């Protein structure tokens, strides 16, 4: 089911949700995608965040492949 990126981010666990929403950009927040990992890839530039690429890649991989959640920074 397609949802906006913002709707997907609101479903993230505590700690992850706040970080993703803080980094979310316009107009990306209103784009619709089918999966959480797609929302994470499209919502913002991971290089421009304080969490860094490794954190967001780990979270994306969690939703794409079922790996453990990365630790919060």
What are the structural domain ranges in the chain?
Answer: 3-65
Task: For 42-58, write each residue's pLDDT tens digit.
Answer: 999 999 999 999 999 99
Listed in sequence order, the DSSP H helices in 1-73 are 5-9, 16-23, 36-42, 52-65
Task: For 63-72, write each residue's pLDDT tens digit.
Answer: 999 999 999 9
Q: pTM score, two decimals?
A: 0.93
Spatial distance between the Cα atoms of 9 and 53, rounded to a whole number of angstroms: 17
For residue 40, the model assigns a pLDDT of 97
Task: For 4-47, write each residue's pLDDT tens digit.
Answer: 999 999 999 999 999 999 999 888 889 999 999 999 999 999 99
Q: Dig out the tokens for 68 from the structure.
A: 């453990």
For residue 20, the model assigns a pLDDT of 98
């Amino acid at each position: 089911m397609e949802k906006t990126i913002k709707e997907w981010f609101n479903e993230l666990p505590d700690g992850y949700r706040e970080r993703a929403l803080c980094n979310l950009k316009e107009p990306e927040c209103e784009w619709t995608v089918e999966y959480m990992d797609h929302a994470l890839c499209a919502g913002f530039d991971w290089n421009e965040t304080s969490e860094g690429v490794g954190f967001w890649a780990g979270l994306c991989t969690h939703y794409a492949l079922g790996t453990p959640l990365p630790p919060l920074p």
